Amino acid sequence: MSKNYDVIIAGCGAAGLYAAINLPRELNILIICKRDLPLCNSSLAQGGIAGVYNSPSDNIQYHQNDTLIAGSFKNNVEAVHTLVSEAAQDIERIIELGVDFDKNPDGTYHRTLEGGHSHHRIFHHADATGKEITTTLLENVQKLSNVTIMENTMMCSVKQTKTGYSAFLKLFDDTYETCNCHFMILATGGIGRVYQFTTNSAIATGDGITFAYEMGAKIKNLSYVQFHPTAFNNRATRECFLISEAVRGEGAHLLNCKKERFMHNYDERLELAPRDVVSHAIVLESRKQNSTDFYLDISYKDSEFLKKRFPMIYKNLLEQGYDLTKEPVPIFPCQHYLMGGIDVDNNSETSLPNLYACGECSHTGVHGSNRLASNSLLEALVFSRHAANSIASRLADVPKDFEEAEFDAHVGAPRIPKGVRTETRKILQNCYFVIPDKKAAAEGFKRVKEIRDDLINGGYFMDADFVLAKSIVTVAYIILGEVME
């Protein structure tokens, strides 16, 4: 295996794959995939990708306004304009690459509606759009002779060098390797596993954010955490199955424990209010009714339409004992997405030279304090392309050699204490969920700091448990630190 690369990309979701596709073919690229190739948050995205593309009744100003409103006008307006104005070219590009969006009988693309959107602008592949996009992008990347993909490889540490960056990797066979690069793109996804309950996959532990933070990169608005209002509520599993925004877009009603609609008491947009508004309403209604029993009901719609429109959701709910076409299904808010992250400019470059961040781990500012539905896949595409273009523009200034940093896995040292991740998740779930508890957050911050200090200074063996725990604890430490400010 080559140890020196022009570009190392950490992450194999939409952002990482699309960056590889857009980088010049003469570059030697390494993509690091933490677990199996299909496992990423991008592939779990159900609703679709938002964008104004061949849309006679829609325009980018409408899309921009909807994004700003959803984000409580805390967005970076320049980044939002970039997002909405460049959506068409990236949607067209992934269609050229083979992404199969649903069409109407007349051959035009079907666009659905989701909460916070004023127009039907969501391109989708049934209710498994993320899987369709990431599968297609991966197929294209695997054909590139200049790209090496290392599967089941954990990035344990990253250090800045005089010629770029060194990554300390734990390979699938439990051996360690150091790889070097001139440019690095962090596309490591979200932080869902910092919470007890999340819609995120097992890889969402905030590793990239932690590495960037440890190297001194600026982290911004990590406390901007989005809680999706309609996660399936079986009260058992840590990874909660998401019931897409698109179900409400097609007319589903939210019901309280009395099986009564209640959104009219909280917002005139009813079920189609932005996610943070709906989540807040559910929690307030929960306190009012003294119950966490809530339901999503679309059973009044034609059953064949629902089965065709939401095949994956229908199948998954059946496996849990619920028929979407016949009855209300239990839901409750759940951690879903991160709007903050590694702060980047409009080219996706961090505050450290030649270190880029794309996708959910980055903070472009497009989402403000609450992401508009189906803007996440779009952000991953638009800004990873910007990162690739920025790298391509700097190749003439790249040094010819590679410096390698030194790492120590502390092989033979004690392993971390048991229960670190469990305790941290409980702290976040209790003090920073939908409506924060500042008193509990202050106490939680003190305990999380103690845990983090021990992990950093304890000289523990750098195995997977250590890396994941340190990431989770560091993310919790930053979030609660922001809450305390």
Cα 114 from Cα 112, distance rounded (Å): 7
**Of 338-347, 383-392, 432-441, minimum mean pLDDT range:** 432-441
Q: Is pLDDT of 247 > 60?
A: yes
The H-assigned helical ranges of 124-230 are 129-141, 207-215
Task: For 248-297, write each residue's pLDDT tens digit.
Answer: 989 999 999 999 999 999 999 999 998 889 999 999 999 999 999 999 99
Average pLDDT over residues 35-63: 81
Query: 154-182 pLDDT, tens per residue?
Result: 999 999 999 999 999 999 999 999 999 99
pLDDT score of 201: 82
- E strand or H helix that includes residue 273: none
Query: How much is the average pLDDT of 54-67?
Result: 95
Q: How many Cα atoms are found within 13 Å in the side-chain-facing hemisphere of 163?
A: 18
Q: In this predicted model, what pLDDT tens digit does every residue of 103-143 receive, in sequence order?
A: 999 999 999 888 789 999 999 998 788 889 999 999 999 99
Q: Indicate the CATH number of 225-336 among 3.40.50.980, 3.90.1150.10, 3.40.50.2020, 3.90.700.10.
A: 3.90.700.10
Q: Examine domains 4-223+339-397 and 225-336 and report if their fold is the same.
A: no
Percent of the chain surpassing pLDDT 70: 97
Say yes or no to pLDDT of 28 above 90. Answer: yes
Q: How far is CA 74 from CA 127, 345, 361, 438, in A?
A: 30, 16, 18, 21
The amino acid that residue 168 corresponds to is F
Q: Report domain extents, the chain.
A: 4-223+339-397, 225-336, 420-484
Helix (H) or strand (E) holding 2: none
If you average pLDDT over residues 366-386, what whole number do you get? Answer: 95
Looking at every residue in the chain, the average pLDDT score rounds to 93
Q: Mean of the pLDDT values across residues 417-421? A: 94
Q: In the predicted model, is pLDDT for residue 1 greater than 60?
A: no
* Intra-chain end-to-end CA distance of the chain, in Å: 46
Q: What is the pLDDT of residue 480?
A: 96
What pLDDT, on a 0 to 100 scale, did the predictor assign at position 475? 97
Contact between residue 7 and residue 141 where contact means Cβ atoms under 8 Å apart: no
- Band (pLDDT 50/70/90 cuts) for residue 241 is confident
Residues recognised as catalytic: 275
pLDDT tens digits, one per residue of 299-337: 999 999 999 999 989 998 999 999 999 999 999 999 999
- Angstrom CA distances, 434 to 276, 370, 419, stand at 8, 12, 25
pLDDT band at residue 36, thresholds of 50, 70 and 90? confident
Q: Can you say how many angstroms the Cα of residue 96 is from the centroid of all Cα atoms in its chain? A: 24
CATH superfamily, with its number, for domain 4-223+339-397: FAD/NAD(P)-binding domain (3.50.50.60)
d(CA 272, CA 278): 8
More reliable by pLDDT, 472 or 113 = 472
Q: Which amino acid is at 415?
A: R
- pLDDT bin (cut points 50, 70, 90) of residue 47 is confident
Do the beta carbons of residue 55 and residue 27 sit within 8 Å?
Answer: no
| Global confidence as pTM | 0.92
- Is residue 226 within 8 A of residue 314, CB to CB? The reply is no
**Per-residue confidence at 230, pLDDT binned at 50, 70, 90?**
very high
